Amino acid sequence: MDATVGHAHAPTTLSEDIARCVHCGFCLQACPTYIELGMETDSPRGRIALIDAMSTGRAQPTPALLGHLDLCLQCRACETACPSGVAFGRIMEEGRAMAVESGARPQSWALRIHAMRQVLPHPKRLGALMAGLRMYQRSPVRAIIRRTGVLARVSADLDAAERSLPEVASASFVQPQQPAGLTKSVAMLTGCVMPHLYSRTHEATVRVLNRLGYRVIFPEAQTCCGALNLHGGDRVFARDLARRNIDAFLDANVEAVIVNSAGCGSTMKEYDHLLAGDVRYAERARQFTSITKDVLEFVAEHDLGALGEVRATVTYQDSCHLVHGQKVATAPRRIMKAIPGIDLRELAAPDRCCGSAGLYNLVQRKMANQLLSTKMDDVAATSATVIATANPGCMMQLEAGVRQRDMRTRVVHVIELLDEAMSARESGAGGVG
């Protein structure tokens, strides 16, 4: 199943994508929202029919219709299940973009789009926000707020939102010193929230790539990948960000563009489709797509040698945009199975969305919590002490689940386990995950 090279996407139109659906319904039982609600309108097949009706003028983008689109996690589990190869992710992106570009989008969508434009591609603004959050989380104010339950008295939703805020790392990511003499080079996406929330994952990624002989370049002109904009219907802005990234990364002249956030990587691997109609960028986008790789996919292609021991009972949550978006399922498992001491226990439904899905857990709290609760039951059944995954959104959501249940379970990116195993080999000591 795992992709070994970047995909090249033949440009297709919305009607061509929709026409591939033969209404068989094989996708229904793969769809988390259909499983929870049992409604055709909240299934992949139903949503395709709604988008088809909207695109042909048989239905208007009413709030009710758009509500069914908004409840879609864009997890793309339906794509994996579909025997006809329906590109559901593209259909949903097109459907949302159609609503936004026609001006029919609800006010909440417009606000979301505005907020994402104003924050995500602006490292200084995002840095200031994260610094404020870090200060709050380390101040006595948080303990007082939680002890007194003041937020819960104002609004249960506000209280739940405060409790599910991600923990900001004590220091944001700074580019590390790298060993001299590395002859090969790759470029890496820094991302928007990852340097602040998971600097440790970035650091682990660089160390692993260095050990495999690669110098890691962080092109200065790179920007946010545009995934959240695209998923929110803001295709115009996502295309701008894609063009900026293509220029930044192709100018670096490297062997591969490495991404350790599956959601970002999935979108970046589809820049060729996003810019297929852009005469200036179509070819460069294809070139970019062909060298973009998820870090686990890239690393698994290399000889990792004998790894040191990491003693841990680990379960793996497939990030939707790695398994369904990028079709990478075996590489992370192969890496973890190569680490002595890891007891890998599969979840009952490892490729079912945890409810994170970009901004989904903020805008669709009820469904996101339902899915998280099912996921945490599933985790508890494995007795794992470590949950490994491959995307910062999943890490945040699973950490929130661990806190809600007061579990003593560590949430990590798979690359961190590999880094620990490589460190253990170097030091000659075993680690405890």
Q: What is the rounded distance in angstroms from the CA atom of residue 305 to the CA atom of residue 172?
A: 31
**What DSSP string runs through 280-331?**
TTHHHHHHHHHHEEEHHHHHHTS---SPPPEEEEEEE---HHHHTSS---HH
Q: Residue 299 in contact with residue 260, Cβ under 8 Å?
A: no
The CB-of-361 to ligand SF4 minimum distance in angstroms stands at 14
Cβ atoms within 10 Å of 100's Cβ, excluding its own:
20
CB-nearer residue toward ligand SF4: 87 or 126: 87
Q: Give residue for tokens 């959050």.
A: 133
The window from 24-32, 104-112, 157-165, 396-404 that contacts ligand SF4 (CB under 6 A) reads 24-32
| 92 closest CA partner among 227, 228, 231 | 231
Residues 4, 8, 15, 25: which binds ligand SF4 (CB under 6 A)?
Answer: 25
Q: Residue 91 in contact with residue 14, Cβ under 8 Å?
A: yes
The CB-of-268 to ligand SF4 minimum distance in angstroms stands at 19
CB-nearer residue toward ligand SF4: 46 or 308: 46
Residues 14, 50, 54, 77: which binds ligand SF4 (CB under 6 A)?
Answer: 77
Q: Give residue for tokens 């879609």.
A: 72
Question: Does the protein bind ligand SF4 through residue 22 (CB under 6 A)?
Answer: yes
Residues 50, 66, 78, 227: which binds ligand SF4 (CB under 6 A)?
Answer: 78
The CB-of-282 to ligand SF4 minimum distance in angstroms stands at 26
CB-nearer residue toward ligand SF4: 28 or 182: 28
Residues 14, 66, 75, 411: which binds ligand SF4 (CB under 6 A)?
Answer: 75
CB-nearer residue toward ligand SF4: 86 or 331: 86
Q: Residue 411 in contact with residue 400, Cβ under 8 Å?
A: no
The window from 84-92, 205-213, 379-387, 388-396 that contacts ligand SF4 (CB under 6 A) reads 84-92
CB-nearer residue toward ligand SF4: 34 or 281: 34
**Cα of 5 vs its chain's centroid, Å:** 19
CB-nearer residue toward ligand SF4: 33 or 374: 33
Tell me the backbone φ, ψ of residue 242, rounded to 5 degrees.
-60, -45
Give the CA angle between residues 207, 209, 213 to the nearest 5°: 110
The CB-of-133 to ligand SF4 minimum distance in angstroms stands at 29
CB-nearer residue toward ligand SF4: 37 or 152: 37
What is the phi-psi region of residue 255: left when phi exceeds 0, alpha when psi lies from -120 to 50, beta otherwise? alpha
Question: Does the protein bind ligand SF4 through residue 21 (CB under 6 A)?
Answer: yes
Letters for 28-67 (x = contact with ligand SF4 by CB under 6 A, - = none) are --xxxx----------xx-x--------------------
CA distances from 343 to 98, 160, 338, 385 (A): 47, 33, 11, 10
The window from 15-23, 161-169, 210-218, 362-370 that contacts ligand SF4 (CB under 6 A) reads 15-23
Question: Does the protein bind ligand SF4 through residue 262 (CB under 6 A)?
Answer: no
CB-nearer residue toward ligand SF4: 79 or 378: 79
Question: Does the protein bind ligand SF4 through residue 361 (CB under 6 A)?
Answer: no
With 0-12 / 13-18 / 19 or more C-beta atoms within 10 angstroms meaning exposed / middle / buried, residue 397 is: buried
365-382 and 392-404 helices, crossing angle to 10°: 80
Per rule CB under 6 A, count of chain residues that contact ligand SF4: 26
CB-nearer residue toward ligand SF4: 284 or 375: 375
Which residues contribute to the site for ligand SF4 (CB under 6 A)? 21-27, 30-33, 44-45, 47, 72-78, 81-82, 84, 86, 88
